[in-house]
Amino acid sequence: MTFVFHGREIHKIGVIGSGQIGPDIALYFSKVFSRQGVKVVVVDISEEALAKGEAKLTKKIDRGNESGAFSDEWAAAMKEAVTFSSDYGLVSDADFIVEAATEDKGLKGRIFADLEARCSPETIFASNSSHLEPEQIFEGMEKKDRCLVIHYFFPAERNPLVEIVPAKETAPEVVSWLMDLYESIGKVPIKVGSRYGYAIDPVFEGVFLAAALLAQKGVASPKEIDAVATKALGLTVGPFTAMNLTGGNPITNVGLSNYTTKINAWYHSPEILQKAVETGARWEVPGRGEKVEVDPSKTKRITEALQGAFFGICSEIVDAGISTVDDMNMAVELGLDMRAPFSFMNSLGTAEALRLVEAYHAESPAFPVPEILKKKGDSNQPFSIHSIQREDRDGVAVLKIRRPKVLNALNQEVFDELRQIFPALDEDSTVEAVVLMGFGVKAFVSGADVRFLAKIETPEQAEATSLDSQAAINQVESCKKPVVCAYNGLAFGGGNELAMGCHYRVARSDLKVLAAQPEPNLGIIPGAGGTQRLPRLIGLEAAQSLLRTGRPISASEAKELGLVQELVDGDVVTLRERSIEIAKALAAGTLESHKTPEVPMENVPETLPEINLKHLSRAVDQILCNTILEGAKLPLADGLRLEAKAFGEVCKLKDFRIGVENFLTNGPRSKAPFVHG
């Protein structure tokens, strides 16, 4: 069998190297491609490494099977898809090869020279190097336009982040194809400039260096530094623990030594690390669940040093043009499980962030103070951080909400961006239409951030919150250019309300769960227009049932009900391209818009039917029913104001507090113990 993805066929993928990361890369490929019949071949010259790699992959598949993550059939297909072999001839017909051998330029060069002689001129060659520039790795290749670095992060089968690092000679269409492919298979790719270490490893290794220098100076022990670092930088584990887990001492030692000339003189391998590499010793770190008490004055010094280094490192990478504020902010949080750096600086104030970096520079003069931070910090202006990415394609602005860690959930910043973007699009003469979608394959928008609900204290505050979210969606709806919603994944709560503010809705046909208004499960009602737009789009009878029960619907049911106008077979790229075609047809007037009608509905009944609410709050349902019925009799704008007022009324109820606290404590699947009042 062959998997076809936008002009390229993949029937076999090669992974070169069965060491620490190669089997995990193969595992991920088998997970996403095995059911399409794509074969994965792992090649290594060491039979011992092959045996260990195969055992590791099998163990992880079995563990996933036991936990229910993989069905018996799927687990069997994954194992069947992967072959471990010392025979390089088995990858001669591979369409895509990822090399994951030792971080050695000469070795990598020899591997790719051999592969180029064996493989098709169309085979894409990627190196999972963690540091080496692609120009260095592929300098001996005849056909460099299909060669680049694809850097995975530990653990490769679970960590969603990948850096796509093209060389100067890499064909842009290859880069674009790979960015789309990796997004379509569930990864989060960022395009990164070619410099030794790329964008993310200098953060990981630089923070470790800052921690190691503190230990080397005798400020604190590695155990104490790790304990403070988790709070100072929002880490799950401290930098020394991370080194123990990844076995990263040797490669970090090499990386830091090369950064000295490749980035700046502050980077170097400290004596404490060199000794650890020589002896093979592990760092003494906090045990699982161990509480480490650290003196407050010592805590402050560690915190300020680590934060100063962290902010300076991330800002320098943007200063150098290796990455962007948006990509770094997302990628560091996602790939390294640290606080998003530029959001972190904004929360402290950029003046304070600059003070911390300058203080670190004063202690370590080789550490630079980046210009981008100087400009912001001198006036205490926040960094502009965008969660909505824009790409213009043939006169259509494709907007993608990209918050993968929270399944593209809406927060205040996203609502603010929507308010800014759409008026600008109205005035942009180069744009004739808009496509709005989410990042990835799981969610268009999973909903609104529930945490803000816990902060609501008064009905007036709740009403203002509702009106604020409505205003952002109203801005989408009132856009002079046609706006197509591309449901690339599920849309719950505020996500579906945002979709209903668009003028036309298209969805992937294979989505078994597409849309829902699950607010009653939280002890609230929709507050971003759902009670008013859904009845007008699909009829009051169908809408009232979905609104009151929170029942999710599939893409096919959404099409039957009229919420979605077209279903698209295929992946998210196919969905995007079809949505662009529809947007252009709407702009040309050859296709009819499906905006929410603004006029009052006709034949509105006096009451809604009794339904089995099960555990849901009867008090919330009463307010919801009244809002649906009374709003339907009004023009849309008045109905939305009624909804906002009703949202405030709901927040007076005990069931509101019960629902929100239950969600935050026990998760979305837990049934709240409502008291119906």
Give domain status of residue 676, yes or no.
no
- Residue 513: count of CB within 10 angstroms of its CB: 13
- Domain CATH number, residue 232: 1.10.1040.50
Residue with tokens 């409505």: 470
CB distance 101 to 111 below 8 Å: yes
Of 182, 185, 184, 202, the closest CA to residue 193 belongs to: 202
- Domain CATH number, residue 10: 3.40.50.720
Residues 257 and 154 occupy one common structural domain: no
Q: At 221, phi and psi to the nearest 5?
A: -85, 160
Give domain status of residue 671, yes or no.
no
Q: Catalytic site residue 497? A: yes
Specify the DSSP class assigned to residue 593.
-
SS3 of 168-224? CCCCHHHHHHHHHHHHHCCCEEEECCCCCCCCCHHHHHHHHHHHHHHHHCCCCCHHH
From 350, 378, 406, give the residue that closes a domain.
Answer: 378
From 353, 378, 403, give the residue that closes a domain.
Answer: 378
CB distance 302 to 354 below 8 Å: no
Give domain status of residue 305, yes or no.
yes
For 213-224, b where at least 16 C-beta lie within 10 A, e where not — what string? Answer: bbbeeeebbbbb
What is the extent of the structural domain holding 471?
388-666
Residues 299 and 397 occupy one common structural domain: no
**What residues in the chain have per-residue pLDDT under 50?**
none
Give domain status of residue 672, yes or no.
no
From 142, 163, 191, give the residue that closes a domain.
Answer: 191
Q: Which helix (H) or strand (E) holds 41?
A: strand 39-43
Residues 64 and 122 occupy one common structural domain: yes
Give domain status of residue 358, yes or no.
yes
Q: Which of 116, 183, 316, 497 is catalytic?
A: 497
Cβ within 8 Å of residue 124, ≥6 positions away: 95, 96, 97, 146, 147, 174, 178
For 458-474, b where at least 16 C-beta lie within 10 A, e where not — what string? Answer: ebeebbebbbbbbebbb
Of 529, 439, 518, 531, the closest CA to residue 486 belongs to: 439
Q: Catalytic site residue 432? A: no
Residues 497 and 547 occupy one common structural domain: yes
Give domain status of residue 383, yes or no.
no
Burial class (CB in 10 A: 0-12, 13-18, 19+), 280: exposed
Residues 443 and 530 occupy one common structural domain: yes
Burial class (CB in 10 A: 0-12, 13-18, 19+), 237: middle
Cβ within 8 Å of residue 487, ≥6 positions away: 437, 444, 499, 505, 506, 507, 508, 511, 514, 515, 555, 564, 575
Of 658, 663, 657, 631, the closest CA to residue 644 belongs to: 631
Give domain status of residue 148, yes or no.
yes
Q: What pLDDT score does 451 carry?
A: 80
Q: What pLDDT score does 1 carry?
A: 67
Q: Which of 133, 316, 519, 643 is catalytic?
A: 519
Of 302, 216, 316, the closest CA to residue 259 belongs to: 316
pTM: 0.94
Residues 142 and 282 occupy one common structural domain: no
Residues 277 and 416 occupy one common structural domain: no
Of 542, 520, 494, 530, the closest CA to residue 621 belongs to: 520
Residues 323 and 367 occupy one common structural domain: yes
Give domain status of residue 674, yes or no.
no
What the block records as the tokens of 64 is 């996933």
Q: What pLDDT score does 455 carry?
A: 84
Residues 267 and 330 occupy one common structural domain: yes
Compute the distance between CA of residue 264 and CA of residue 258 in angstroms, rounded to an integer. 10
Residues 348 and 467 occupy one common structural domain: no
* Gyration radius of the chain over CA positions: 27
The answer to whether the Cα torsion of 188, 194, 199, 200 is positive or negative is positive
How many structural domains comprise the chain?
Answer: 3
Q: What pLDDT score does 289 carry?
A: 85
